[in-house]
Amino acid sequence: MKVGILGSGNVAKSLAKGFIAHGHVVMLGTRNPAKLEDWDWDNRKGLVGSFADAATFGELLVLAVKGSAAAEALHAAGITNLAGKVVVDATNPIAETPPENGVLHFFTTLEESLMERLQREFPAARLVKAFNSVGSALMVNPKLQGGKPTMFICGNDEAAKKSVTEILDQFGWETADMGKAEAARAIEPLCILWCIPGFLRQEWTHAFKLMRV
Ligand SMILES: NC(=O)c1ccc[n+]([C@@H]2O[C@H](COP(=O)([O-])OP(=O)(O)OC[C@H]3O[C@@H](n4cnc5c(N)ncnc54)[C@H](OP(=O)(O)O)[C@@H]3O)[C@@H](O)[C@H]2O)c1
């Protein structure tokens, strides 16, 4: 599959390597392609272009930019280039204010998530929230005590969530589908919880698991 990743940060890079390792072809999109010229793809070369180039290239897209710039990046990608495509939304709406006792601030409320805002602004894109509740170093085939961790996902398009579940299977995750876009109100704040041990104790090597009877 051709995957267009909007972003050039740790999430974009980690997922790019993961997709390539699993046999996909990847283009990273950034405002400044020169900044990825020297990046080490681990000998598996991917492509780099603008946000619009990556959105045009990808049959499936990943949104991996700063939360406050997500709408801007999608506009730069081009509304027509997003139409009908699955967009894996890994963003979190983290505010600029520093964490308080390890607790991040969000610029959204519990009544409206970032993904809902984006889905409303880009109705033709098939957004699926995923990968936002774990650090970038653990996104692809994490090896954790206790077995496979759980990735919580949501989105309005059932077929899009099925595609993302297949990717999560490849990437070594169990998927928990939490329903429609409104569930991002609960999934995005998992980032706050995930980060607390990191900010308080420099512990960044955990992931969530849903346990069942
Ligand atoms: N870091 C993690 O472990 C982690 C884990 C889960 C979820 N997340 C979420 O995933 C997203 C990406 O995180 P990250 O740490 O990889 O990178 P980041 O530092 O949060 O974001 C970097 C990306 O944001 C883009 N960006 C910044 N300002 C922009 C603007 N005004 N217009 C367009 N694009 C802009 C940059 O574009 P250029 O390439 O053009 O500079 C770059 O690609 C964030 O929403 C974050 O909350 C992060």
| pLDDT digit string, tens, across residues 87-101 | 999 999 999 999 999
d(CA 35, CA 45): 15
Residue nearest to atom 18 of ligand 1 (CA): 66
Atom of ligand 1 nearest to the CA of 14: 16
| pLDDT tens, position by position, 91-130 | 999 999 999 999 999 999 999 999 999 999 999 999 999 9
**Which pair of structure tokens corresponds to residue 44?**
């598996």
Q: Does any ligand 1 atom lie closer than 6 A to the CB of residue 123?
A: no
Tell me what pLDDT residue 45 has.
84
d(CA 170, CA 172): 5
d(CA 155, CA 88): 10
Q: Is 147 exposed, middle or buried (0-12, 13-18, 19+ CB in 10 A)?
A: exposed
Residue nearest to atom 23 of ligand 1 (CA): 65
> Regarding beta strands 86-89 and 126-129, do their DSSP bridges make them parallel or antiparallel, or are they unpaired?
parallel
Residue nearest to atom 31 of ligand 1 (CA): 69
Q: Does any ligand 1 atom lie closer than 6 A to the CB of residue 114?
A: no
Concatenated DSSP letters for the chain?
Answer: -EEEEE--SHHHHHHHHHHHHTT-EEEEE-S-GGGGTT---TT---EEE-HHHHHHH-SEEEE-S-GGGHHHHHHHH-HHHHTT-EEEE----B-SSPPBTTB--BSSBTTB-HHHHHHHH-TTSEEEE-STTS-GGGSSS---TTS--EEEEB-S-HHHHHHHHHHHHHTT-EEEE--SGGGHHHHTTHHHHHHHHHHHH------------
Q: What's the average model confidence in pLDDT over 117-144? A: 98
Q: pTM of the full predicted structure?
A: 0.98
Residue nearest to atom 29 of ligand 1 (CA): 69
